[in-house]
Chains A and B, each alone.
Chain A
Amino acid sequence: MRKHTRAALLCVAAGMATALTLTACAAGKGGGASSDAAAAPGKDDKLTLTVWSNYSDREYEEVTKALKTFNKKFPNIEIKHEGSQDDDKITAGIRSGNTPDVALSFTTDNIGQFCSSGAFQPLKAYIERDKVDLNQISPAVREYTEYKGNRCAMPMLTDVYAMYYNKDMMSAAGVTAPPKTLDELFEAAKKLTKKAPNGDIEVAGYLPTMGFYANRPTILAPSFGAEWEKDGKSALASSPGFTEMMTFQKKLVDFYGFDALERFRAGLGQEYSADHAFHQGKIAIMMDGEYRTAFLKAQAPQIKFGTAPFPTWKPADYGTAFTTGTIMGIPKGAKNPGAAWELIKHLSFDTDTIVDLSNAIKNVPSTKAAMESPKLEVDEQFKTFIDLAKSDKLKGNPVTPIGDAHIKAVTDFAVSYTSGKVPDLAAGLKEVDKNIDDQIAKSGK
């Protein structure tokens, strides 16, 4: 009897070992996890570079055009650009050895995973070999393309977030200048809000609901001087900025009344449609990225809007902003890492290419040279974002190995705190800290 059980156990163990070896094989396939730089291709080398991105339609065409400018340097390299590839797809491809030479990702949430797992190859050796001047890129953007000193990605274009305000509504409500502090923002929001006799909100001066539109804790954090971590630990509870963020949100929600605000918000249009509440004149002030300037002009020409840095808690912080953007990396197992690096370098630093692409899809360029370029189309509203991007006050995504788990944790907490479900703010934040730390500890990175 005993013998039988043991034999059965051994069988199971053998099965498990086989399965593990299988996956290990799949994972280990494809070369190029070494830290050495692969040689650049010769001027006339013939090869094909595959690029995966998540662009589609018009943006896809524009990015393809930008990729093709690489042929000025290497005329015989053919570039195959495959759009509509999300991060899940990139991960599946890398794991199984079915990889592109260059992968573009829309989100900076996953950079910690990409760098620490080796999904994207380390670029240090290339940067040192080619003596690339990283100072061309602003510090915040440099931060969100590396993890714990391991640079595994380069930025393509960036998004910068700032305040949008409806000029007509401001002057009608007697708000003469865009608010610069949180107190001014609160006062302006009160004046700009219109309520119907039955208490329904018709226009919200500023919509605070966390998780809705661009109201994400990462995007708001710089304006509150909120710090995500300290000594490698989640530090929300000990950061006065986060306490202030929650308090400010709650103050606003209480001003509207939670139920009234929810009813108002539930009727607002989708962020990625012409029905966006700002387009419809239903909110007067909001936080959003630079790309909104183009959409507003195309979809809501009747809205006269201005842009300015988002108000800050501490006056000294004024002029800060959140930045994120598209990142590029060489996936583990890429067939032509040397040539892939040349392409990435080209897209990261070739001023004309960056400026043309930036003009075409209305994102902020990622290098100082491109931002200074006279060819860059900068109108009054877009200028705010360029100025913010030029300053050294930008803040990037807090990079963790757990994707956006920490951002979700804070968003969830903000929602329950503003709805009045959390009696003790400090204790609540401590609990969020603990959850984030647990999650990071679980990842083992």
Chain B
Amino acid sequence: MTATLGARPAPGRGRARARHRLTVLGFMAPAIIGFVLFFGYPLVATVVFSFTKYDLINAPEFNGLDNYAYMFKDPLLTKAIANTLWFVVVLTIARTVFALGVASVIARLKSGVGLIRTLCYLPSLAPPVAATLVFFMVLRPNGGPVDNLLGVFGIDSPLWFSDPAWAKPGITAIMLWISGDLMIIILAAILDVPQEQYEAAELDGAGPIRRWWHVTLPTISPVLLFGIVNSVILALQLFTQAVVAGSAGSGAADATGSTKYLGFPDNSTLTFPVYLYTQGFRYFDMGYAAAMATVLFVISFAVTIVLVQRMRKNSTAEEGGPGA
């Protein structure tokens, strides 16, 4: 990943190399154990389940590629994939840009920083189910605050979680509203940019926008990469907000996020994980759910590799440094 040169021991110094290896191993040991136990084992189990018929109660029965074959005649799966792709594209871009924007504004504030920072972060402190429900109430057409506000300008409020065309944008709005965590991460990174870099740029006569573009952005790019990858994962795993928005839209919200009708309205909130959950725990077909999980994992892992490689290339090119 990085072009750090200092730590690589010169060849031939066998003992130093062994010691270096031991150090790395020591630092990574808990992670390696944890990785095997809490990721490796579930991954193997998931892949194994995906070749079986498994009703969650009786021992899985091998059924070859049946689960994978069924994917091709499952109309809801197509819908779920389309919904999740929508979120991966829209939510990832919107969330990263939004968080970066808000963090950049906050970073420039001179007074009241603490208060505004806290206000912006407040929503991400709320339990996800409650946050979604409250947002639902705020967006509620016919008497909600946003509806009233739009009414002042003579605009009809969208029906949000009742309209298949607006349910996903509505959920995206919720996700932006609770993106305070990413905002704070980016803010911390922005404030962490060494002051002398700005001073140097200022001496060269760069205005604030130029400084932001040429100093801030490149320096915080590792954190931005985190933001993008984190948003992609969030989009891929979007579950609670989709379930709660769907249940509230169908008029059956409850305080814990359980629901009678997943995907309301018209399956527009049926994300891949929601459908996976439905198949595994509502229809008791864990084999199929595991096949879905396997496919999701393989595709998203491949996308991540491409994304990470590309980000690395870009940042390397921009900074003019040697590649890894």
B42 (CB) vs chain A CBs: closest residue: A19
Q: What per-residue 1/0 map shows which CB atoms of A60-95 lie under 8 Å from chain B? A: 000000000000000000000000001110010011
Which chain B residues border A117 with CB–CB below 8 Å?
A: 55-58, 284
- Closest Cβ of chain B to A102, distance in Å, is 17
Kindly state the interface size class of chain A when it binds its partner: 35 or more
Separation in Å of the A35 CB from the closest CB of chain B? 16
A383 at the B interface (CB under 8 A): no
Q: A23-B45, A266-B160, A438-B70 are in contact. Are A118 and B58 (CB under 8 A)?
A: yes
Task: Find out whether the CB atom of B285 lies under 8 angstroms from the CB atom of A443.
Answer: yes
CA–CA, A356 and B300, complex, Å:
55
Q: Does B202 contact A (CB under 8 A)?
A: no
Please encode chain A, from 399 to 418, with 1 for each CB lying within 8 Å of some chain B CB and 0 for all others: 00111110010011001100
At the interface, yes or no: B297 with Cβ under 8 Å from chain A? no
A15 contacts the other chain (Cβ, under 8 Å)?
A: yes
The stretch of B104-112, B218-226, B227-235, B258-266 in contact with A is B258-266
| B53-A444 in contact (CB<8A) | yes
Q: Does B159 contact A (CB under 8 A)?
A: yes
A265 close to B266 (CB less than 8 A): no
Chain B binding site: helix, strand, loop or mixed by DSSP? loop
Bound state CA distance, A286 and B245, in angstroms? 24
Cβ of A338 within 8 Å of any chain B Cβ, yes or no, is: no
A-B contact count (CB 8 A): 127
If A266-B163, A267-B141 touch, whether A405 touches B250 (CB-CB below 8 Å) is no
Interface positions of A from 234 to 283, Cβ below 8 Å from B: 262-272
**Is there contact, CB below 8 Å, between A213 and B251?**
yes
Q: A91-B281, A272-B254 are known contacts. Are A266 and B261 too (CB-CB below 8 A)?
A: no
Could you tell me if B252 and A270 are in contact, using CB atoms closer than 8 angstroms?
A: yes
Are A435 and B45 closer than 8 Å at their CB atoms?
no
B253 within 8 A of A: yes
Nearest CB of chain B from residue A279's CB, rounded to whole Å = 12
CB contacts (< 8 Å) of B57 on chain A: these are: 27, 91, 94-95, 113, 117-119, 332
What 1/0 flags go to B237-251 for Cβ under 8 Å of A? 000000000001111
CA distance A268 to B143 in the complex (A): 10
| B285 contacts A442, C-beta separation under 8 Å | yes
Q: Which A residue's beta carbon lies closest to that of B279?
A: A405
Cβ proximity bits B29-59 to A, threshold 8 Å, 1 near / 0 not:
0000000000001001101110011011111
Q: Is B66 interfacial (CB-CB < 8 Å)?
A: yes
A430 to chain B, nearest CB (A): 13
